[in-house]
Amino acid sequence: MVDRGDPWGYRATDVAVFHGVAYRQGSVDDPIWPRVALIKGENTILVHPDRLDEWFTSRWTFTWRGEPFEARGLTDDMMEGVYLGADTEFAAEHLRPGSGRWGRFPRAEIADLTQHRDPLLPRFRREQALMADAGRYRSGTFARFEGRVLPAADAVDEQSRLALTGPSHVGPLRVTLDEVEEWYTATWTFRWWNEPFEVVDVTQGRIKGLYIGGQAHFAWDYLHPEPGTAQDYTILLPEESVTDLAEHREDLLRRWRDKQ
């Protein structure tokens, strides 16, 4: 879509159109009865996604001196953007030192300002399915007992019994290792923008990742400091945005048997 102005300052924004009116979208606040918060000034309307005319992420791209950028906002007639190209000499000469791939340019000098609309309803459907299957990406210690995978202790007790957390109607269990089919620790990792993360939760239908890389500027620019910690940075992402999502297991049952 060709530029006709943007009420949200050319920043990436989730937009919902309801009865022909475009709203900035707030959070989907209820996994049982999903609703989208539509924000217009001081007013907020809650609407089920199926009732929307359109629902999309609005993002903008532009070029400056022939090189591609994704817009990050227009302030005081200066457009900020993230460089999408691969010319390292151009980046070194024109982008902010130490800022990664960010630049700031006069609005009059940019060209090809274009809006892109990424539909959100398909992502919403995937997120709902992911919430229903949140346990799929759990990190921790688990054992397979009578065909069920249950949270487990990471060591046996003095009687060589393993503590399991059974279903709510059963409660805690203690079993011998001869009774379990598997006993292992599991950790899930993924990459986003080629940086490494560990899965710490599935919430709001998205994967929450803890940054385990070493690029401080990347963490400061793109991630969120985790409350109550000094150096932990996290991000919440739809599953389709991540790459190399993989489970890493350590076989505790084999290790225990090797020691016997």
- Reported confidence tier of residue 199, pLDDT bands at 50, 70, 90: very high
How much is the pLDDT for 172?
80
Mean pLDDT of the chain: 85
pLDDT on residue 227: 86
Task: Determine the Cα–Cα distance for residues 204 and 125; give it in Å rounded to an integer.
Answer: 12
Mean pLDDT of 241-254: 94
Tell me the H-state helices in 74-180: 88-94, 121-132
More confident residue, 29 or 241: 241
Decide if pLDDT at 131 tops 90: no
Structure tokens at 242: 């991540």
Could you tell me the residue ranges of all domains in the chain?
A: 1-119, 187-250
Strand partners, 246: 189
- What pLDDT was estimated at residue 169? 52
221's enclosing H/E stretch is: helix 216-222
> Which one, of 151, 185, 170, 205, lies nearest residue 256 by Cα?
185
In the structure, what pLDDT confidence band is assigned to residue 2 with cuts at 50, 70 and 90? very low
Contact 62, 73 (CB under 8 A): no
Is the pTM for the entire model greater than 0.75?
Answer: no
pLDDT at 194 over 70: yes
pLDDT recorded at residue 184: 95
User: Are residues 32 and 84 in contact, defined by beta-carbon separation less than 8 angstroms?
Assistant: no
Task: Please tell me the predicted confidence (pLDDT) of residue 253.
Answer: 94
Residue type, 178: D
Q: How many CB atoms lie within 10 A of CB 253?
A: 16
What pLDDT band is residue 155 in, cutting at 50, 70 and 90? very high
For the chain, how many residues are written?
260
What pLDDT digit, counting tens, does each position of 92-129 carry? 888 877 666 888 899 999 999 999 999 988 877 776 66
Q: Does the pLDDT value for residue 42 go beyond 90?
A: no
Distant-in-sequence, close-in-space partners of 232: CB < 8 Å, separation ≥ 6 = 210, 211, 225, 226
Residues in a beta bridge with 45 = 38
In this prediction, residues 175-179 reach a mean pLDDT of 92
> Where residue 1 falls among pLDDT bands split at 50, 70, 90?
very low
- % the chain with pLDDT above 70: 87
Token pair recorded at residue 110: 């940019």
Question: Does residue 57 have a pLDDT over 50?
Answer: yes
The radius of gyration of the chain from alpha carbons, rounded to an integer in Å, stands at: 24
- Which of the 8 DSSP states describes residue 137? G
